């Protein structure tokens, strides 16, 4: 009798824990872009789109951060980005999920010094102090990491 009650209690706890994890968990992925290559940029956007659509289909929450630095910052430059239209569409597609496009300020400042002018960043982007540090800190917080 005790064994049955103990088994039932354990199964109940396991079921409740699984249900809570599925309901409350936010799936989080950081995607690195460090190349000024439209194929890499589009692959990163494809990865983000697929992740968002996958978890939306399962009614689960998802957050995506596409982190750009070095030559990859061109992805988020309003004067050189070959994927500006896709950035806007993905921002709209992600709702109610969360997507962030992180632009490395260290890279931005370096480009401005080299080019002798301000480097414009798309309005969909957030400037972060360092792209590499952003990736490190997200991973330290348990985010998954992808480099297309």
Provide the pLDDT for residue 1.
53
List pLDDT tens digits, range 14-37. Answer: 444 344 345 678 999 999 999 999
Burial class (CB within 10 angstroms; exposed 0-12, middle 13-18, buried 19+) of 116 = exposed
State residue 46's pLDDT score: 98
Q: What is the rounded distance in angstroms from the CA atom of residue 86 to the CA atom of residue 102?
A: 15
Calpha distance 89→91 (Å, rounded): 5
- Please state the pTM of the whole predicted model: 0.83
User: How many of the other CB atoms lie within 10 Å of CB of 88?
Assistant: 13
CA 75 – CA 82 distance, rounded (Å): 7
What pLDDT digit, counting tens, does each position of 43-96 carry? 999 999 999 999 999 999 999 999 999 999 999 999 999 999 999 999 998 887
**Residue 105 in this model has a pLDDT that exceeds 50:** yes
The whole-number pLDDT of residue 24 equals: 77
Q: Are 78 and 120 in contact (CB under 8 A)?
A: yes
* Helix (H/G/I), strand (E/B), else coil: 134: helix
Q: Tokens at residue 16, please?
A: 């409740």
Q: What is the mean pLDDT of residues 113-124?
A: 97
> 96: cis peptide before it, omega within 30°?
yes
The average pLDDT across 96-123 equals 96
In this structure, what are the phi and psi dihedrals at residue 115, rounded to the nearest 5 degrees?
-85, -15
pLDDT value at position 8? 46
**Secondary element (H or E) of residue 98:** strand 98-104
């Amino acid at each position: 009798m005790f064994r049955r009650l103990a088994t039932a209690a354990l199964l109940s706890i396991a079921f409740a824990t699984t249900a809570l994890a599925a309901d409350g968990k936010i799936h989080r992925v950081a995607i690195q872009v460090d190349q000024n290559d439209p194929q890499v940029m589009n692959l990163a956007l494809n990865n983000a789109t697929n992740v968002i659509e996958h978890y939306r289909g399962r009614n689960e929450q998802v957050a995506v951060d596409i982190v750009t630095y070095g030559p990859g910052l061109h992805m988020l430059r309003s004067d050189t980005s070959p994927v500006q239209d896709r950035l806007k569409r993905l921002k709209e597609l992600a709702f109610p999920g969360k997507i962030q496009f992180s632009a490395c300020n260290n890279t931005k400042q370096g480009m401005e010094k080299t080019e002798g002018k301000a480097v414009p960043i798309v309005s969909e982007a957030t400037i972060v102090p360092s792209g590499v540090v952003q990736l490190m800190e997200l991973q330290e917080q348990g985010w998954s990491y992808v480099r297309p």
